[in-house]
Structure 1
Amino acid sequence: MSATCHPRPASLRLRPLLHLSLLLGLSASPMFMTASWAEDSARRSYQVPAGSLSDALTRFAGLAGVNLSVDPALVSGRNSAGLSGEFAVEEGFARLLQGSGLQLQPVGEQAYILTPAPEGSSLQLAPTSILGVTGGADGEVYAGGQVARRGSQGLLGSKDFMETPFSMTTYTSEAVKNLQARTLGELIASDPSVRATNPAGGRYEQFTIRGFSLFNSDVAYNGLYGVLPTYTIDMEMADRVDILKGPSQLINGISPRGAVGGGINVVPKRATDKPITSFTGNYASDSQTGGAVDIGRRFGEDNKFGIRFNGVKQSGDTEWDHQNVDREMAVLGLDFRGERLRLSTDLGRTERDTDAPQERVQVGANAQVPHASDVRHNYAQPWSKASTNDTFGTVNGEFDVSDNVMLYGGVGARESNHDFLRHAVSVTNNRGDFIVQPRDFTRDESVRTATAGVRNWFHTGPVSHEVNLAASYFYMDFENGGARYANANSNLYNPVETRTPVRPTRLDSKVYTENRSTGVALSDTLGFFDDRLLLTLGARWQRVKVDDWTDNVRGDTAYDEEKISPSGGILFKATDKLSLYANYMEGLSQGKIAPSTSINEDEIFPPFVSRQVEVGAKYDAGQFAVTAAVFRIKQPAYETNATTRVFGPNGKRQNDGVELSVFGEPLKGFRLLGGVMYIDSELTNTTNGTFDGNRAPATPKYNVNLGAEWDVPTVQGLTLTSRGIYSSSQFLDQSNNKEIDSWERFDVGARYAFKVEDKNITLRANVENVADKRYWSSAGASDDSEPGLTLSTPRTYLLSATVDF
């Protein structure tokens, strides 16, 4: 069986010829399909996204392994709500054809045609004929279960990846569970476009996407920025994690820290129609133990009301000397789904205490890059600590004014208190000596954010429109304070334990900052040729206002600026399996903040403009997908001057890159997830041309990830897993005089699922960095706002047992 798509009639004169061809286009079957799927007596799980009726029928026919022939005029201009769940073949077709006035007619073995339904007939299905249908994200899982078909795209709503003119990957909660990912940083290790740039045992997580920095502050929660914890985000709260590559200001507005390379959105869990009662006991080396609960219920008429609770408690020592992590998380989600109104609210609280958190290793002007393989002990002092407490909440709603108009909106808030006793690690010579400079640092944050919009679907002649109008507001204030203590000496390779700081040598100034951003966005997605060609045009007006005070004295770095940022994308469905796209995205980004390693610490710089051009292709074979993209991103470059230690702008940087990713289940019982990214990053227009032509710091040329899962055929329920991660060498700063080597990491694992007295039990075991290699995994932030080396995580054992009651 082969996969083809039916051609669109060039004119009405071609219609008689199309009537004569019974085997045009809608016959399809993906690679590696088994014939048993097409047996009508067999039920199988299908996910077919909403969209044009032609596309929906084509996808279903391909997945089912049958031939469907149709006069294209019958389906022209018609749409389908899609389907999700377990169906027999004819039952699935009937579901897709509901309300279309068309019916299925068998014409041979595994062959059908579409004909108009007789007048007065109905294609309504009995409720009992649909099994496993869900209205949530779980119904959009791609083959293999690790990636979802649809992702949240803010202003543009939820879209299937094949109908999106952007590069985006959406990871599922199943991927989170099987990776035993406790934090966002542990999940993104599967994505070649994303890298962690801070130690896993550190105070906070930070990332790069397409070579540009992204802070936790830039991670959205159900489309709202600044709501999630600033320093570490627990993954047990996530139903999905959307990773969008490229500037996303049109979609989500300006982010608090001005992310350029992309954006991350965490989608909260919701109660499903099937009750959920799950407990997971877990262990992580050296001696971290804990547990997590996940409880969900729906109740009321038609299960309109839902409640979902996730709670975590874990504590114990890590693989690093005298390092202990104690974390707690509790998130409650409530939702209501009516005929036209949908409401939800999420309330969360997280607490994390870390003893001896690791810092990035800075390299002094007179020192060579230290040998990571010789760093076998924790160089953080036992008295150092990090304590973070975050309380957050959101309310979201959607209301269908009519079948063509929807109102939506959301509000969110967060209150956070952070307390650190830390010290920098700046190596001064080739022996690895550094000065311990104790610092007590406190930070209190308050966030308020809101968004509201209207989405309208309509036609003007043969052209479909999806118009979106939205407004957003973000406010955050924070206060930094602290104290300094007497210095001491230590060594990277042979750490020296110093006395616990008691008496401050000086108090830091109190710095208070207010950050406001507002925006209004308008977009229109136009569909041509029955939505085979989709053109998205839009623009967002943004205003950024920042004020700061030091010891109650207003600073001179305050600013109030605004800009209109245009964006656009085009997608062409060359076939029902192949989409080609291009986009131009422009955005205003929040100004950089001078890091603690500079003498102008906390100085705030004005906003800057970033621009991206991207072209790509997406191929969906039904059971696996391959996506490819070529992109160029431009933005100003920043550096901390090696001599003066002043942080500020210096020239521009341009990242030209290529991405290739693959996911799905190409063979039954064998799943793949990974890809490769290449980046050519160049500096231009630097002061006196000093660094022109050099590579931007902390930007490897190549990132490669490949994960595989294999269901052992001789042992039901047993799955073996593996993952390889590679990054090429990186420079430490704009001068390109110091460099860290390339590195690779290998992970292995297994899980075993079985039943005991109707209880589903899953045992999972993972070993990260199985070879226990020590290497520098990052040369710091790509924009040099936080320079320093990130040491790899040593071999770590992860064990868990999940019982679903």
Structure 2
Amino acid sequence: MKRISPLAISLTLASISPTAFAEEGADAGTLPAINVSAEANRADAYRARTSGIAGFGETPLLDTPASVSVITEAQLKDQQARLLSDVIKNDASIGENYAPVGYYENISVRGFPLDLASGYRINGLSAVGEQNIALENKEQVEIIKGLAGLQGGVLNAGGLVNYVTKRPADVRSVMLGTDSNGSRYLSTDLGVLFGDHQQFGLRVNAAHEDINSYVDYSNGYRDFASLAASWDISTKARLAFNIEYQKKAQKSVAGYQLLGGTTVPSGVSPTTMLSPQPWAQPVRIDSLNFNTRLDLEFNADWRGYITAGRSRAVIDDYLAFPYGSNSATVFSPTFAANGDYDVYDYRSPDDTRRNDEAQAVVQGKFNMGSVRHDVTLGVTMSRRVVDKSDGISIPVGTGNIYNPVAAPLAPSGADIPASYRNLDSRQQAILLTDRVQFGEHWEVLAGGRQFWLKEKTYNLAGATTRDTDRNQFLPQLALIYKPQANMSVYSSYAETLSMGTAAAFWQTNFPTILPPSVARQLETGIKYDWNKDLSFTAAVFRMKKAYEYPQPDGAGGFKYVQQGTQTHNGLELGATGNVTRQLRLSASLAFIQARADGTGTPAYDGKQAINVPRLRSALYADYALAALPGLNLLGSWLYSGSKTATRDGSASVPSYHIFNAGLRYQTRMGGHPTIVRLTVDNVFDKRYWKDTGESLGDSYLHLGAPRLARLSVQYDF
């Protein structure tokens, strides 16, 4: 059947005049407008001043006692970002953690991988992490760096990512793009406000992408469409709705493993697909995310909202997967010393993940004598279910990393077991925060989340294999001192609960799932708006959680255990804004010491954690050429220190520098604003290992992308 692009509905909307929707006699009022043109105020386009991720309601970043990174729509466009891995290169505290080409990606923040079940959000509601969330309809991406138990409840120590969708506005824009591999890209952003008081709004974003990957045999495509709608019911009530759908199909690129479990592969190319068998199929991910929100203003001091949403992803995997090696019938979960690996017929179709969540929140302020209180009280209910087959993973032959022409292998022909309910997780919570202001200089933020978690896992026969019933209070405390209006100094304490991870199949206690554990964080920071155009931040932190790892049993086997403490100590520095009228910078630096102690395995104690460089830095610059109005030169420099690939530190990948360059040219065509963007990533074609992360108990190494040029033209009409 012919594939139909979702752009058709957008192009239909483009032909409609905004005034065509005007209604006679409408008496509804309007709330304060929140619609901003995508290219408005270019001088401040990279610098966000507020965020809703760290609390409930928009809060100035200057007054937020947490480290929050916000990447704006303008920066996403200028860097021609398509994936989360494109977004995170703006912050030195964030790195990739098992992010293969053609698959869904995960990241690590401050050295801790995010929780795919609860670490990703759209408009504050949990989204399935097993998808590539599209950026075409996103206004900004917000990232909490560190513990976020108050905001998310049960989630990993690293933090969480929140995607903020665009609101309806009078906007009409189309973008065409390509790259040096021959990819093709088309997107539209079309919106209208209508009604006598423009109390109604619609916005459609759509995109189609033909993906020509730099890795052989891994091309694919992506279709995306979204709709945002709003209704200002009165001056005190607003209803908003968002829905987005994406279909992506692309062959996944497997990572490498250590040779003999001790040696990083050398002499390999990022363009090579390991074992490109003809029967392997693209990974298909169909995702649907929608949410709705009703905002109510009760009076000048009190307001509230109710919001609910669903996120669903269906993943079909049919891979020829290179993994481990059998030498003299002795299995190893790593490649052989000579580069040999086993090829598995891996099939896991109809892998369905679904998150549902609803929140009701009331916010208000009042005075008790000379003390001011800003209070937030809320309740939330969420549910996550996983329905999938156990699939098959059957070895069908071997390959070698140094033989780019893989020998054809026959698939196993095995039947795929039926799909069943794997997980049913339900969580209820009460949220309470009180921001207490004492005079002009001192504030205390006190609050937390009391949650009740009920979670069950099942086997194919429907029998319960785990039954978790837990309730706990997760506190968050902060002291804020403002010596002057443009500076804040804070110290904070927070807790979160992380679910235990599961033993891999090659570990002696498979399929044991370790118990939940509490993570704790202390953080002290300073935020300074040097002037209206330039901000500086600094933070030091200490994070602790239980250490989970495969413990050698002395007989050649491994048992997955929770023993010892993993401690991450770090320093973060950042600067964002206009250095001069022509030069705009975004810079960050992160130093992280990530070590485990008391593990019961002396060789692992005191060693830097896998995939966590001690030092990373990121610098992005935008320089406007005075001699050529409308032309800006863009450039970035990314540095990562060496990353270990084994727990005892015996193997590591080297440090690397990556330089990117580009330009943005703003002009007019036919009287309409037009922007041409050209970027060249990895200008010097550096070969490097971007990621030594883990997935499902196994360690992988992924090569970074070679040099890639991208060109796009945005036309606003």
Give TM-score, length-normalised by structure 2: 0.88
Counterpart Cα distance in 2 of 1:557 and 1:378: 38
Residues 594 and 147 (structure 1 numbering): CA distance in 2 closer, same or farther, change over 3 Å?
farther
Counterpart Cα distance in 2 of 1:216 and 1:432: 31
* Counterpart in the other structure of 2:289: 392
What is the CA distance between 1:488 and its match in structure 2?
A: 1.6
Residues 638 and 412 (structure 1 numbering): CA distance in 2 closer, same or farther, change over 3 Å?
same
Query: Which amino acid letter does the alignment assign opposite residue 535 of structure 1?
Result: V
What is the CA distance between 1:508 and its match in structure 2?
A: 5.5
- SS of the equivalent of 1:398 reads strand
Query: Which amino acid letter does the alignment assign opposite residue 399 of structure 1?
Result: L
RMSD, matched Cα: 2.3
- SS of the equivalent of 2:455 reads strand
Q: Is the 8 A contact 2:100 2:254 kept in 1?
A: no
Residue of 116, 120, 140 corresponding to 1:240: 140
Q: Is the 8 A contact 1:519 1:542 kept in 2?
A: yes
Query: Deviations 1:228-270 (Å, cap 9, x if unpaired)?
Result: 562211111211111111111112333xxx2212211100101
- SS of the equivalent of 2:274 reads coil
- SS of the equivalent of 2:244 reads strand
* Counterpart in the other structure of 2:330: none
- SS of the equivalent of 1:478 reads strand
The answer to whether the aligner puts 1:521 opposite 2:431 as a matched pair is yes
Q: How is 1:61-100 mapped onto 2 (pairs within 5 angstroms)?
A: none
Residues 224 and 253 (structure 1 numbering): CA distance in 2 closer, same or farther, change over 3 Å?
same
Structure 1 portions without partners, runs of 5+: 1-132
Q: How is 1:527-676 mapped onto 2 (pairs within 5 angstroms)?
A: 527-530=437-440, 532-594=441-503, 603-621=512-530, 622-641=532-551, 643-644=556-557, 646-676=559-589
Residues 332 and 376 (structure 1 numbering): CA distance in 2 closer, same or farther, change over 3 Å?
closer
Query: Which amino acid letter does the alignment assign opposite residue 416 of structure 1?
Result: A
Q: Is the 8 A contact 1:292 1:312 kept in 2?
A: yes
Q: How is 1:381-780 mapped onto 2 (pairs within 5 angstroms)?
A: 381-382=276-277, 383-422=280-319, 423-426=321-324, 427-442=334-349, 443-481=351-389, 482-499=391-408, 501-505=410-414, 507=416, 512-530=422-440, 532-594=441-503, 603-621=512-530, 622-641=532-551, 643-644=556-557, 646-780=559-693
Counterpart Cα distance in 2 of 1:594 and 1:145: 46
* Counterpart in the other structure of 1:44: none
Q: Is the 8 A contact 1:750 1:765 kept in 2?
A: yes
Query: Which amino acid letter does the alignment assign opposite residue 360 of structure 2?
Result: A
Residues 640 and 441 (structure 1 numbering): CA distance in 2 closer, same or farther, change over 3 Å?
farther
Query: Deviations 1:106-151 (Å, cap 9, x if unpaired)?
Result: xxxxxxxxxxxxxxxxxxxxxxxxxxx9525779989541131001
Give TM-score, length-normalised by structure 1: 0.79
- SS of the equivalent of 1:189 reads helix
Residues 602 and 136 (structure 1 numbering): CA distance in 2 closer, same or farther, change over 3 Å?
farther
Segment of structure 1 superposing worse, 382-391 or 766-775: 382-391
What is the CA distance between 1:604 and its match in structure 2?
A: 3.5
Query: Deviations 1:271-300 (Å, cap 9, x if unpaired)?
Result: 23xx20000001133121020000011111
Counterpart Cα distance in 2 of 1:179 and 1:602: 43
The answer to whether the aligner puts 1:135 opposite 2:34 as a matched pair is yes
Query: Deviations 1:453-504 (Å, cap 9, x if unpaired)?
Result: 1111111111111111111111111122222344222122323434365443
Counterpart Cα distance in 1 of 2:687 and 2:88: 20
Counterpart Cα distance in 1 of 2:506 and 2:201: 48
Residues 519 and 490 (structure 1 numbering): CA distance in 2 closer, same or farther, change over 3 Å?
same
Counterpart Cα distance in 2 of 1:430 and 1:299: 67
What is the CA distance between 1:650 and its match in structure 2?
A: 3.4
Residues 366 and 344 (structure 1 numbering): CA distance in 2 closer, same or farther, change over 3 Å?
closer
- SS of the equivalent of 1:236 reads coil
Counterpart Cα distance in 2 of 1:369 and 1:298: 56
- SS of the equivalent of 1:748 reads strand
Segment of structure 1 superposing worse, 745-754 or 408-417: 408-417
Query: Which amino acid letter does the alignment assign opposite residue 259 of structure 1?
Result: N
Residues 769 and 602 (structure 1 numbering): CA distance in 2 closer, same or farther, change over 3 Å?
farther
Query: Which amino acid letter does the alignment assign opposite residue 373 of structure 2?
Result: H
Q: Is the 8 A contact 2:544 2:565 kept in 1?
A: yes
The answer to whether the aligner puts 1:211 opposite 2:123 as a matched pair is no
* Counterpart in the other structure of 1:329: 224
The answer to whether the aligner puts 1:260 opposite 2:260 as a matched pair is no
- SS of the equivalent of 1:667 reads coil
Segment of structure 1 superposing worse, 310-319 or 549-558: 549-558
Counterpart Cα distance in 2 of 1:544 and 1:322: 44
Q: Is the 8 A contact 1:582 1:616 kept in 2?
A: yes
Q: Is the 8 A contact 2:238 2:295 kept in 1?
A: yes
* Counterpart in the other structure of 1:789: 701
Residues 602 and 802 (structure 1 numbering): CA distance in 2 closer, same or farther, change over 3 Å?
farther
Counterpart Cα distance in 1 of 2:511 and 2:621: 44
**More helix, by proportion:** 1
Query: Which amino acid letter does the alignment assign opposite residue 309 of structure 2?
Result: G
Query: Which amino acid letter does the alignment assign opposite residue 465 of structure 2?
Result: D
Structure 2 portions without partners, runs of 5+: 1-31, 325-333
Query: Deviations 1:174-216 (Å, cap 9, x if unpaired)?
Result: 1111110011221111111111123451411010001100145
Segment of structure 1 superposing worse, 604-613 or 683-692: 683-692
Query: Which amino acid letter does the alignment assign opposite residue 681 of structure 2?
Result: E
Counterpart Cα distance in 1 of 2:266 and 2:445: 50
- SS of the equivalent of 1:431 reads coil
Query: Which amino acid letter does the alignment assign opposite residue 421 of structure 1?
Result: Y
What is the CA distance between 1:153 and its match in structure 2?
A: 2.7
Counterpart Cα distance in 2 of 1:722 and 1:779: 26
| Bigger Rg, structure 1 or 2 | 1
Residues 412 and 555 (structure 1 numbering): CA distance in 2 closer, same or farther, change over 3 Å?
same
Residue of 194, 201, 212 corresponding to 1:317: 212
Counterpart Cα distance in 1 of 2:261 and 2:50: 51
What is the CA distance between 1:741 and its match in structure 2?
A: 1.1
* Counterpart in the other structure of 1:117: none
Residues 144 and 384 (structure 1 numbering): CA distance in 2 closer, same or farther, change over 3 Å?
same
Counterpart Cα distance in 2 of 1:236 and 1:763: 17
Query: Which amino acid letter does the alignment assign opposite residue 426 of structure 2?
Result: R
Query: Deviations 1:535-566 (Å, cap 9, x if unpaired)?
Result: 10002112222211111242433311111111
Q: Is the 8 A contact 2:323 2:335 kept in 1?
A: no
Task: Compare relative contact order (CA 8 Å, sep 6+) and give the higher one, 1 or 2.
Answer: 2
Q: Is the 8 A contact 2:54 2:64 kept in 1?
A: no
Query: Which amino acid letter does the alignment assign opposite residue 523 of structure 1?
Result: T
Residue of 323, 342, 359 corresponding to 2:238: 342
Residue of 95, 112, 119 corresponding to 1:195: 95
What is the CA distance between 1:154 and its match in structure 2?
A: 5.7
Segment of structure 1 superposing worse, 414-423 or 763-772: 414-423
Counterpart Cα distance in 1 of 2:712 and 2:220: 18
Residues 215 and 330 (structure 1 numbering): CA distance in 2 closer, same or farther, change over 3 Å?
farther
Query: Which amino acid letter does the alignment assign opposite residue 628 of structure 1?
Result: A
Residue of 163, 169, 181 corresponding to 2:69: 169
Q: How is 1:366-381 mapped onto 2 (pairs within 5 angstroms)?
A: 366-371=261-266, 376-381=271-276
Counterpart Cα distance in 1 of 2:42 and 2:676: 23
What is the CA distance between 1:525 and its match in structure 2?
A: 0.2
Q: How is 1:142-153 mapped onto 2 (pairs within 5 angstroms)?
A: 144-153=44-53
- SS of the equivalent of 1:716 reads coil
* Counterpart in the other structure of 1:359: 254
Counterpart Cα distance in 2 of 1:484 and 1:504: 11
* Counterpart in the other structure of 2:122: 221
- SS of the equivalent of 2:484 reads coil
Residues 288 and 600 (structure 1 numbering): CA distance in 2 closer, same or farther, change over 3 Å?
farther
- SS of the equivalent of 1:378 reads coil
